[in-house]
Amino acid sequence: MNGLANLLSLKNAASLKNIAGPLLIVMILSMMVLPLPPFLLDILFTFNISLSVIVLMLSINTVKPLEFSSFPAVILITTLLRLSLNVASARVVLMRGHEGEDAAGRVIGAFGHFLVGGNYTIGIVVFVILVIINFYVVTHGAHRIAQVGARFTLDAMPGKQMAIDADLNSGLIGEDEAKRRRAELSQEADFFGAMDGAGSFVVRDAMAGVMVMLINIVGGLIVGVLQHGLDIGVAAKTYTLLTIGDGLVAQIPSLMISTAAGLMVARVGSDENIGQQFLAQLFTNPQIILIAAAIIGGLGIIPGMPHFPFILFSILLGALAYFRSRLARVAKAPPPVEAPAAEAQEVSWDDVALVDVLGLEVGYRLISLVDKAQDGDLLKRIKGIRKKFAQDIGFLPPSVHIRDNLELKPNAYKISLKGVTVGTGDVYPGMFLAINPGRVTGSLPGTVTQDPAFGLPAVWVEAGLREQAQIQGYTVVDASTVVATHLNHLIQKHSSELLGREELQKLLDHASRELPKLVEDLTPKLVSLSVVQKVLQNLLDESIPIRDIRSILEAMIDHAAKTQDPEELTALVRARLSRSIVQQIAPASSELQVITIDPKLERLLMQAMQSGGAEAAIEPGLADTLLREANVATQNQENMGIPPVLLVPSQLRTLLSRFLRRAIPQLKVLAHTEVPDTRSIKVTAVLGGRA
């Protein structure tokens, strides 16, 4: 029974939430038509003020605008509420204003009498000042910031989308995180667009307040003098005070909502709310505070100036500067140095350090990137890279051993493979690398450099220029992303060297859980572990994933009785993987556009193969011509947006692939047997026609 009661209560709560919005809108619109008693007006005016205070406090304590994504709708609802209350209160003022200052309720009377001392001239002045502040300063400024923010947000969307795609492709984030970021980006654009439109409601609301006040005063004089026979002076004072009270009751919440709108659109991206940013950025530099204290103190000793307040604030600012400087000295103090051990330990085999397969060494200024205590996220990114590599390539790469190296420059890092440096770079924590993908619209101030992973032109910029760089078409990434992307690129490039005996054995153990018979039949019955390793390394050398381990093992089992040569087995495995190889090269088209070689050149290369065997080499003059023509054909293919593919006989594929791989890594060499029957072929160029 208790469970059923709880379920019913949850359903009732959900249904109340569903009807709360429509019910509120209907009630607000009803107030424009139905007469309301003064007591109910007091309740509604108090509710309006309370709601405005809540909205203002929420805007101050919100870290990101999307945390209060309903704010544009709140602006519309609160504006309708104030206008409805203006209509309802105007009706009561005109109908019952002749009865006295409390005829329209105690809230309006209090604002019209106590706040302005019962003087309607002062009330009019105060009301006009509030309208000017609200309309010409706060509301207009917030509306303008919302317009510019909406435009810049839409302009920056392509760059931000490219950054998300880059993180996804490099394995730094998963598909779910990418979808979340894209959704957040879309919501941000929708928010600023809605704020641009909502600003018009606030602007027109301020103008409506002035017009309602004028109409109430004129209408009150007409009703009081002509209908109720009041003296014109008494009617002017009574109706003007009630109108001023009504206007102040509406303008003060309107000013709060306008201020909240300005705070929501004027904030700069940070993980802190307005109060935290204010204290952290305004009172952190003791030198600036000390200069301000000296200036205030100098003003305080000028004859004729009020000495006490100026000197008081000078002393307070000086004390604040003193305490801030002490805190800064404590923060910069070096940690205590541990005393060395009294006696050296005996040398043992524990002192022999094996070479790390993958290593990352960082300068001392980059320690924060790998230190979780300092919110460093590089370790998390490296885990994501290894997971993405395992999913895409088909085996788990070795762990990356990270250590600091005082011999490196403070902002430098070094990536090593089996103790040999394969990549270096410099990054700057707290700054962003703006990479030029080739279609930027302007230049940026900063340190000009190159992307360490792909060699693209780039520039290190301050955090404040990040949005501008994205708007101009740059791909903007932080320091951790630069290191992670470089590491991911090198792991992909040297994947064959990462597949050692240890990794291969773990891969076979993992495969044996799903394919026990295949693994058992292959090794060591048919081929040795070293042959399997060499075949897989040959595939990885040409960027072919080994995820389809079932097809690879089956192909080796089928042909291992005929040959034990790793190169021949690799060619046979490639033929078995033909569909995935071609799909990886040209996934979107059924037609494969290829480069071929002239039949005369084929015969020359076949003769070189027959005379040289496995160690065949191409004659230097012929090699130079072949390389030059292949480079031109590859560039032509890329200019047309076509993946460059060279189609050759099976006997020549290995020779030409090794020959062209280093000079033209983007050119893929396929054998005739590696093209599936479902793919048609179109020849776009022929190499060696003049050989």
Name the token pair of 567: 């190169």
Residues 322 and 364 in one domain: no
Residues 156 and 235 in one domain: yes
Average pLDDT, the chain: 79
pLDDT, residue 647, reads 93
Residues 126 and 224 in one domain: yes
Interval 346-370: pLDDT, tens? 777 777 777 888 999 999 889 888 8
DSSP for residue 679: -
Residue 477 pairs with which residues in a beta bridge?
A: 433
Name the token pair of 675: 């093209």
Residues 415 and 441 in one domain: yes
588 domain-assigned: yes
pLDDT, residue 679, reads 87
pLDDT, residue 533, reads 93
Interval 107-147: pLDDT, tens? 766 666 655 565 667 666 777 777 777 666 666 666 666 66
627 domain-assigned: yes
State the alpha helices, DSSP H only, in 31-139: 38-61, 71-96, 106-113, 120-132
pLDDT, residue 329, reads 67
- Phi and psi for 668 in degrees, rounded to 5? -95, 130
Residues 479 and 621 in one domain: no
Best-predicted range by mean pLDDT among 51-55, 197-201, 293-297, 630-634? 630-634
Of 109-123, 168-182, 289-303, 331-345, the range with the lowest mean pLDDT is: 331-345
pLDDT band at 595 (very low <50, low <70, confident <90, very high): very high
pLDDT, residue 548, reads 92
pLDDT, residue 544, reads 93
Name the token pair of 392: 């895409």
- Phi and psi for 616 in degrees, rounded to 5? -60, 145
pLDDT band at 553 (very low <50, low <70, confident <90, very high): very high
Confirm if 474 and 456 have CB atoms less than 8 A apart. Answer: no
Segment 632-641 shows an average pLDDT of 89
CATH assignment at residue 618: 3.40.50.12790
3 domain-assigned: no
Between 16 and 159, the more confident residue is 159
Q: In what helix (H) or strand (E) does residue 252 lie, and over which residues does it extend?
A: helix 232-266
- Torsion sign, CA atoms 506, 508, 511, 515: negative
pLDDT band at 435 (very low <50, low <70, confident <90, very high): very high
pLDDT band at 638 (very low <50, low <70, confident <90, very high): confident
Assess whether pLDDT exceeds 90 at residue 570: yes
Residues 248 and 104 in one domain: yes
Assess whether pLDDT exceeds 50 at residue 543: yes
> How many other C-beta atoms can be found within 10 angstroms of the C-beta atom of residue 236?
17
Q: What percent of the chain has pLDDT over 90?
A: 23
Of 65-74, 179-188, 368-377, 448-457, the range with the lowest mean pLDDT is: 65-74
Assess whether pLDDT exceeds 50 at residue 294: yes
Confirm if 289 and 320 have CB atoms less than 8 A apart. Answer: yes
Assess whether pLDDT exceeds 90 at residue 34: no
Assess whether pLDDT exceeds 70 at residue 155: no
Sheet containing 591-597, strands listed edge to edge, beginning at the edge strand earlier in sequence: 668-671, 645-648, 591-597, 680-687
Sheet containing 447-450, strands listed edge to edge, beginning at the edge strand earlier in sequence: 447-450, 457-461, 432-435, 475-478
Rg (the chain; Cα; Å) = 38
pLDDT band at 589 (very low <50, low <70, confident <90, very high): confident
pLDDT, residue 4, reads 44
CA separation for the pair 383, 357 (Å, rounded): 16
Between 614 and 515, the more confident residue is 515
Residues 94 and 220 in one domain: yes
- Torsion sign, CA atoms 81, 87, 93, 95: negative
pLDDT band at 35 (very low <50, low <70, confident <90, very high): confident
Residues 447 and 540 in one domain: no
392 domain-assigned: yes
Assess whether pLDDT exceeds 50 at residue 7: no
Segment 476-502 shows an average pLDDT of 92
DSSP for residue 136: I
Name the token pair of 414: 């070094």
Angle at 353 (CA atoms; ends 348, 355), nearest 5 degrees: 160
pLDDT, residue 1, reads 46
- Phi and psi for 79 in degrees, rounded to 5? -65, -45
Segment 243-247 shows an average pLDDT of 71
345 domain-assigned: no
pLDDT, residue 71, reads 72
Residues 259 and 389 in one domain: no
Q: In what helix (H) or strand (E) does residue 353 lie, and over which residues does it extend?
A: none
110 domain-assigned: yes
CATH assignment at residue 549: 1.10.8.540
Domain end, chosen from 576, 598, 614, is at 576
Q: What percent of the chain has pLDDT over 70?
A: 73
pLDDT, residue 303, reads 76
Angle at 615 (CA atoms; ends 609, 618), nearest 5 degrees: 55
pLDDT, residue 537, reads 93
Assess whether pLDDT exceeds 50 at residue 649: yes
Contacts of 269 (CB under 8 A, 6+ apart): 64
Cis peptide before 587 (omega within 30 of 0): no
Segment 452-473 shows an average pLDDT of 90
Domain end, chosen from 551, 576, 601, is at 576
Name the token pair of 40: 């109910």
Interval 375-415: pLDDT, tens? 778 888 898 899 999 999 999 999 999 998 888 999 999 99
Segment 240-250 shows an average pLDDT of 71
Domain end, chosen from 292, 327, 362, is at 327
Assess whether pLDDT exceeds 60 at residue 31: yes
Name the 3-class secondary structure at 600: helix
Q: Parallel, antiparallel, or unpaired: how do β-strands 668-671 and 645-648 relate? A: parallel
Confirm if 495 and 534 have CB atoms less than 8 A apart. Answer: no
pLDDT, residue 161, reads 73
Of 5-9, 183-187, 537-541, 607-611, the range with the lowest mean pLDDT is: 5-9
Name the token pair of 620: 């230097």
386 domain-assigned: yes
CA separation for the pair 94, 104 (Å, rounded): 9
Dihedral of the CA atoms 320, 326, 328, 334 (nearest 10)? -170
CA separation for the pair 691, 683 (Å, rounded): 19
Confirm if 584 and 544 have CB atoms less than 8 A apart. Answer: yes
Assess whether pLDDT exceeds 50 at residue 67: yes
Residues 106 and 168 in one domain: yes
pLDDT band at 691 (very low <50, low <70, confident <90, very high): very low
pLDDT, residue 10, reads 45
What is the count of structural domains for the chain?
A: 5
pLDDT band at 577 (very low <50, low <70, confident <90, very high): very high
Assess whether pLDDT exceeds 60 at residue 255: yes
> Domain containing 157: what range?
22-277
Residues 46 and 171 in one domain: yes
Best-predicted range by mean pLDDT among 53-57, 474-478, 619-623? 474-478
pLDDT, residue 110, reads 66
CA separation for the pair 416, 405 (Å, rounded): 13
Residues 529 and 592 in one domain: no
pLDDT band at 86 (very low <50, low <70, confident <90, very high): confident
Residue 594 pairs with which residues in a beta bridge?
A: 683
pLDDT, residue 197, reads 65
572 alpha-carbon distance from chain centroid? 45
Name the token pair of 651: 């006997």
47 domain-assigned: yes
Name the token pair of 78: 């609160």
Segment 265-286 shows an average pLDDT of 59
Segment 334-353 shows an average pLDDT of 61
pLDDT, residue 425, reads 94
pLDDT band at 574 (very low <50, low <70, confident <90, very high): very high
